[in-house]
Amino acid sequence: MIKSELIDKLAEANPHLYHRDVERVVNTILDGITESLARGERVELRGFGAFSVRHRPPRVGRNPRTGDSVAVKEKHVPFFKTGKELRERVDASRASKSTPA
């Protein structure tokens, strides 16, 4: 699912809200998560998961086309760890779909 599909689905589920308001809410939530991660903070959504930032040290990589060594700078990357409830719901959903009827 992409962001526009999420917005459409939420707008369908909440017909009393304007589509533009649903879009504004989704963008506000995602912007808040992004801003918190940019400050190095952790964002936890209970039952869903936690977003954090992980440090990747500098390393020597390889150019796949030429095989030459390339210096890769250190960086900070977003990381998502699923919550227990989300893992259980996905597992239960997948298990029910894989059992023959």
In the chain, where the domains are located: 3-98
**pTM score over 0.85:** no
For the domain 3-98, what is the CATH superfamily, name and number?
A: IHF-like DNA-binding proteins (4.10.520.10)
For the stretch 8-50, pLDDT in tens is 999 999 999 999 999 999 999 999 999 999 999 999 999 999 9
For 17, phi then psi, to 5°, come to -105, 145
In the block, tokens 């030429």 appear at 66
What pLDDT score does 100 carry?
63
Percentage of the residues of the chain whose pLDDT score is greater than 70: 97
Contact 54, 74 (CB under 8 A): no
| Three-class HEC string of the chain | CCHHHHHHHHHHHCCCCCHHHHHHHHHHHHHHHHHHHHCCCCEEECCCEEEEEEEECCEEEECCCCCCEEEECCEEEEEEEECHHHHHHHHHHHHHHHCCC
Do residues 51 and 38 make contact, with C-beta atoms less than 8 angstroms apart?
no
Q: Residue 96's pLDDT band (boundaries 50, 70, 90)? A: confident
Compute the mean pLDDT over every residue in the chain, rounded to the nearest whole number: 94
Query: Using 50, 70 and 90 to split pLDDT, how confident is the model at 101?
Result: low
